[in-house]
Structures are given as structure tokens and as C-alpha cells.
Chain A
Amino acid sequence: MEVVTSFKPLLALSVSAIAALLILLTGERRRNLREGWTFAAALVKFFIVVSMIPAVLDGKVIECSLVQLFPGVSLQFRVDAFGLFFATLASFLWMATSAYSIGYMRGLRSHAQTRFFFCFAFALHGALGIAFAGNLFTLFIFYEILTVSTFPLVAHKETGEAISGGRKYLAYLLSGAALVIFSMGVTYSLTGTLDFKSGGFLQGHGSDGLLRVLFAAFILGFGTKAALMPLHEWLPTAMVAPTPVSALLHAVAVVKAGVFCVLRVILYVFGPDLLSGLHLGIVLASFASLTVLLSGMLALAQDNLKRRLAFSTINNLAIIILGASLLSPSAITGGIFHIAAHGFMKITLFFAAGAIYVKTHLEKVSELDGIGKSMPITMASFAVAALGIAGIPPMAGFISKWYLCLGSLEAGQIVFLFVLLGSALLDIAYFGPIIYHSFFKKPVGRQHCGLDEASLWMVIPIAACAALSILFGIFPNAFVHFFDIASLVAKSALGTN
């Protein structure tokens, strides 16, 4: 594999850190300038990330080493296909969210907006660092930056509920991080390195029993961020956060970072061969399937719209992990593509929920009767994204689900095919009523039924994300080659190229 040394990854990372500082310095006085920084940083970051795509598609790896931290491990960024995939997704959606959050925060005249935008930029810094990290240690540094910078965002409302949500979030994630430190330590003392390697680097070290414990510790550690059941409890609680936070961080950056880390461990630390040798893939897949089905059923029981979306997120994250743990090429491709597909669709759903909240202060599913008449664009986008999550063509969700199903057949595990189909049915079951009620039921107890959309700052991102979900369903390689990159990851991880 050809290695290119370049400062681009560092540049992409520092953009958001610099933006965060500028936001802090600008402060509340000049709000337009402050939001300008966010927007500019999002754009610049996206273009830097995208500019790395051609090289990576050629099979090159972009590397940037800074300082050595201890023997065998340095602070190193290494952009491979998988990292780039996540980075592209995160920076792509940051642009949309920047626009949206301006509309949202101003619409609610929220307090402490400087802190909000500062932490937001820093969270993106963390997410991108995770994507570009070349070894477990660097990854962990940014993992913790992401954890800590999200805490003020969860507790943003400063109400008792928000603060206890923040506490729960920290308690879960820091406990997970402690497990990660432990497993990193064991890995390092076994192998003397922490650098990611396609196909894993743990093969041939340690006894089977130790490796199984190590794998469990890794999955439990990173699994907290990926909201794998039974470690998911923080995610629905964290929905007290402002909607842009739920949208970008709790549908894309934070939880996907957790999934990303889990996949890194599966594909680049342990490696498919070792995992199937230890029969761990099937165990993880079973756990993930349980999460898929349980969270789908729990979502049915939620009346709060954002909580329902949160359980749907847990459901989809588990599907991604399920795909990767099946260890067959199509399943991995599908799982990774689902990171992006689900990202675009779920952000649309959250955006829509936020727009409804800003306009009407409604949060409950049961109160949304007839809302589609007053907010047609929002609700149409909502419907598109919801159907996409259920896997209905031509939305992006169809492609990923299709490949996941193919993958489960390739792996010879028919059971998981039924799990996937079952979860699609559950998706329809918990999203269908919302769509139906909002368009076809008469509003109860609300007067105005005229057109009353949220501000353009919010509507345009919603519509754009919905449109992109369809576009990526028809042309999975549009603009940023999501599908090609995903299949490249699968190939290189399985060593079939």
C-alpha cells in the first residue's frame, strides 16, 4: 500500500479547533461573525476532507505523524478508506447542521450560544480525530475529547433534567473509556504496538481465553458510545439536548464514532480471521441482533418523538455492528454504507423533529396530528427519511439493507436475514403512524392550519438532507463516492484485493 505523507489530515483537524477558539473570542456580541466562523470552518473542513478522496480511492494512505508518545506509539494520523468515509460523512453533515443550528438556536432565543457553538466545533474536532487516528491511542485521545466536549451540549438547557442527562451520559461514557484504557493496555503489553492494520495485529498473541476477554472489554468499552444494549440507556436520556446536538452528535458524530471504533476493533485490531477463529463474530452478531429487535420494540412504546428517534438510532447502530460482525464482504460493505445512509436519513428526522419543536413546542408523537398540513416540506422530508430507514427503495437505506441481507446469506446465517427483515417491519411500525397521523388526521385543539414552516435556515437543510437520502439511494457514488469507499474498506479488511 502506497503511503503519502501530508499535513492535510492535521489541517482538517485544526480547522475546527481554530474555529472553536475564534468562536470563543468573538463571543455573544457579534453573533453573525461567530456563526460565520462555524459555517466557514464547516465548509473548509469538508473541502479538505473531500480533496483526500481521489488519493484514497487509488489505494493510497495519507499519513501524518507528530510526536512519539511512547515506544511504538506516536500521535499519528493515518487516512485510510474507512477513516475517510467517516470523516466525509461527519464534515458533510456538519455543514447542514451549522445552517440548521443557527436557525434553531435563534428561533428559541437560547442562552449560552457561544458555549454551544464552541463545544460543537470541538466535538467535530474529536469526531474527525477519531476518523483519522492511525492507532488506538490517538483514537482514544480524540474519543475522550469528543466525550467531554459533548457533555456541555447535553446539559445545555441547564435544567435539572438536562444536568442529570449529562451526568448519566458522562457516567456511561467514562466507564466505557475506563474499559477501553484497560483493553488498550493489555493490547499494548501483548503486542508492543497499537497501530491499526488491515486484517488486525493481534493474531498470534496471547491465549484464546485472554483474547476473548480482551474483545469483550473492547466491545463493552466502545459499545457504550455505540449505544449497544444494555449500555444504551444514556442515549434516550441525552435527548434533552438541543435538537442540532441530537441530530449531528447523537445520530452521526458521537454514536457513529462509537460504531466506528467498534468496527476499527473488529476489522483493524482483531481482524476477521482471528475473530472467526475465536468464534467471536457470531457472538457479537447475536448480541447486536438482540439489540436490533429489542430497540425496535422499545421504540414503539415511546411517545416522545425524539426518544422514539433515539431508539431507532440504537436499532440502526446495532444493524451496522451486526453487518460488520458477520464478516462477509457484502455485509461489511452494507454495514459501512449504512453509516452514511443512516446518517443522512436520521439527521433529516431529527431536523424535522426540531423544526416542529421550534414552531409549535410539540414533542409528543400523539400531538402531531395534522402537522403535515402546516409544515408540508418538513413532514414530507420526514416521511422520505423514515421510509428510507425502513429500507424502501429508492432511498439510501435500501442499498445498505440490500447488501446486509446479501451479506448474511454469504455468511450462511439465515437467522440474521430474518432479524434484518424483522427490524424493517418494526421500522414501518413505529414510523408509519407518525406519517399517517401528521398528514391524514385532523389536528385536535390547535387553531391555525395554514402554512407555517420554520425559518429557511432550518427548512433548507431538512429538504437538502432528504433529497440527498434519495440521491444516495439512486447514485450511491454521487459526489463523494460513499459506496466505492465502503466496498474498498470491506475488500482491504478481508484481504481480498
Chain B
Amino acid sequence: MEFIIGKYNYWIYICLMMIGFYAMIGKRNLVKKLIGMNIFQTSIILFFVSTGSKKGATIPIVEHGARAVEAVRYINPLPHVLMLTAIVVMVSTFGVALALLMMIYRRYHTLEEDEILGFRK
């Protein structure tokens, strides 16, 4: 029980990831695929962020007047910073994907994978 509840953030990340993964592979509508992709990426952000967080810790800014730096009290900032970069990457991927969907729609007037494959035959 402790294993499940104590690490709930990881369980959520795994659930989200599976949902996203399913949508990317299983759905036939391209927009749904794209949404799945977004969920998938977000789950990874959640994973990274939760690896860096700690209960009762604070942001890594040295308080005014503090003598010694107590490392235990601070959250590891690096995963969060990494995620800033990753978010940028994901947003640009998303942007390109939307542009692609527009191109596809202009060409086939549909976003259903089956219909597009039918057109191409």
C-alpha cells in the first residue's frame, strides 16, 4: 500500500504515459493522435519534476542572512530547468504538427487516417 500511495506521482505519470501512448498508436484520428502525443510528453514532464521535488523543501535560493547552505532543505533545480528546455522542444514539435495537420487537411479534407490511406491508394 505504501508502495502505491507513497509514490502516487510516479503512478500518475505512468498512467498518463500509457493513455498518451495508446492514443498515439491506437487512435485513427490524427488530432487525437496529436493530443495523445501531448499527454505523453506532459507525463514525462511530470516524471522529471517529481524526481526533483522533496516534501518540505524549498526553492534553491539562499535565504538572506543564512550562514551555511543546508543542501537537504532545497529542491534539486536541475530537472525543472531541464523541463523548461523540454517544454520548448515539445511546443515546437506541437507547432510543426499542427502545421502538418493543416497541410493534410487542405489536401485530403479529412483527418481520419483510414480515409487518407484510402485516398492515397
- Whether A and B touch (Cβ < 8 Å) is answered with no
* Chain B residues engaging chain A, CB cutoff 8 angstroms: none
